[in-house]
Amino acid sequence: MSNNKTSEQWMRGFPPPEDRIISVDKNNHYNWPELCWTFSNTQQLVPTKSIWRGPGAASKLEVQDAGIDKLTITDQEGKSLGWQEALKTIDTDGFAVLKRGVLVYENYQGYCGPHKTHLVMSCAKSFVGTLAELMIDEGTLDENALVPHYMPELTDTAWHDATVRQVMDMLIGMQFHEDYLDPGSDVWKYLRAGGMVAGRPEAGHPTHLAEYLMTVKKQGEHGKAFAYREPNINVLSFIIQRIANKDLQELVSERFWQHMGAEHDGWYMVDPAGMSTTAGCTLRDFLRFGELIRTGGKKRQAVSPAVTARLVKGGSRELFARAQYPKPYLQGWSYKSQWWIRHKEDGNAITARGAHGQLLYIDPGHELVIARFGSSGLPPGYLNDPVLLPMIDAVAAHLETY
């Protein structure tokens, strides 16, 4: 897939030429390659809530060029790629690396840049999973409680006999037909209720996410297999927001953004009831969040070492394998508290993953944090792995003695 996306000159000029306008009206914002512009300019297409970075100055990142641009990688099909070629092959918008907290690499493509926020897609689930782990650690959230303890309105749904832990680890048996090519599929009702796609719900269908959740029925058993289903993140989000009596954007600001010296406000998309859903931030702030998870925080401990240790340990690889991802994707991985865990012989990496190739990769053993934004035309993020993982491994090896 070649990348001539910047040459398209979307949304340049005052106003842009008519055929270069990307808008919800035209419903072309999730087309490819238009989504390359959309992902770096999401706030101007959809309603959002700001994640305040606090009144202080941004934390300074020490910068050293570690020569990563000169690496050559061998992808999982055995093909040799120069670094720049590799970046473009998987439609990279941004790629940056912290080694021991030093910014040793930073690269932007397309419409992204150091002061541009980018949609992180499902990587935002890991914000919520971490908040839940912190609340468990502090004793305000009971992971063994059944969901209706916190959300009584879900008594007649898939979650009536599910524990919070099972929700956190995506071990819920539910009816949720996820076929993007079928307009009648559950996922479209879900996305429309969430305000995540253009077009409003049909009459009689759920008008926002909390209403949607009440329609989800159980299928099979809980706790038997990893099953990545979107609605679980909304259940978990409602639970922690109700316990804290604060919105996700406030929690992420107070617990993460204000501690890590963020340089820019992040933001949350919202559903039609004003509930925060997915998020966006700059690449550097994404790195800072990863570094906060890795180190626990510099000025004061914002993330307990026990939480980080629990995430790094990971989840059950046996339950994960039952999801049966096609080879070579995600083989031997696990899932814990809304993080994807890569089990490696030299120590596990915890990763936040999002559609179209968003990735936050934290490898404590290598004192390494890598953030990557993408706008791949292939929605499932793991389809980028045959190039992206070799890139990451090449960086880790290159920096081994750095």
Residue 362 buriedness (CB in 10 A; 0-12 / 13-18 / 19+): buried
Identify which of residues 11 and 302 has a Cβ nearer to its own copies in the complex.
Answer: 11
* Least gap, CB of 24 to its own copies (angstroms): 8
First to last CA, the chain: 33
| Residue keyed to tokens 């439609």 | 91
- Tell which one of 113, 272, 296, 380 touches its own copies (CB under 8 A): 272
* Least gap, CB of 62 to its own copies (angstroms): 15
* Least gap, CB of 398 to its own copies (angstroms): 29
Identify which of residues 54 and 101 has a Cβ nearer to its own copies in the complex.
Answer: 54
- Tell which one of 49, 342, 372, 398 touches its own copies (CB under 8 A): 49
- Tell which one of 270, 281, 362, 387 touches its own copies (CB under 8 A): 270
* Least gap, CB of 372 to its own copies (angstroms): 22
Angle at 113 between CA 271 and CA 260, to 5 degrees: 70
- Tell which one of 115, 149, 160, 177 touches its own copies (CB under 8 A): 115
* Least gap, CB of 26 to its own copies (angstroms): 8
> What is the distance between the alpha carbons of residues 318 and 334, in angstroms, rounded to a whole number?
8
- Tell which one of 1, 6, 27, 47 touches its own copies (CB under 8 A): 47
Peptide bond into 15 cis (omega under 30): yes
Q: Do 230 and 190 contact (CB within 8 A), yes or no?
A: yes
Identify which of residues 188 and 238 has a Cβ nearer to its own copies in the complex.
Answer: 238
Please give the single-letter amino acid code of residue 211.
Answer: E
- Tell which one of 28, 74, 185, 207 touches its own copies (CB under 8 A): 207
Identify which of residues 200 and 224 has a Cβ nearer to its own copies in the complex.
Answer: 200
- Tell which one of 99, 264, 294, 356 touches its own copies (CB under 8 A): 264
3-state SS, residue 263? coil
Identify which of residues 70 and 200 has a Cβ nearer to its own copies in the complex.
Answer: 200
Residue 79 buriedness (CB in 10 A; 0-12 / 13-18 / 19+): middle
Question: Within 143-202, which residues bind its own copies (CB under 8 A)?
Answer: 200
Q: Does 238 bind its own copies (CB under 8 A)?
A: yes
Residue 22 buriedness (CB in 10 A; 0-12 / 13-18 / 19+): buried
SS3 content of the chain, % helix, strand, coil (to 5): 35, 20, 45
Q: Does 208 bind its own copies (CB under 8 A)?
A: yes
Question: Within 8-27, which residues bind its own copies (CB under 8 A)?
Answer: 11, 14-16, 21-25
Q: Which of 344, 341, 325 is nearest to 393 (CA)?
A: 344
Identify which of residues 47 and 347 has a Cβ nearer to its own copies in the complex.
Answer: 47
Q: Does 288 bind its own copies (CB under 8 A)?
A: no
Q: Which of 127, 341, 163, 385 is nearest to 237 (CA)?
A: 127
> What is the distance between the alpha carbons of residues 176 and 187, in angstroms, rounded to a whole number?
7
Q: Name the residues that contact its own copies, by CB under 8 A.
A: 11, 14-16, 21-25, 41, 43-50, 52, 55-58, 115, 117, 200, 207-210, 238, 241-242, 247, 263-265, 270, 272-275
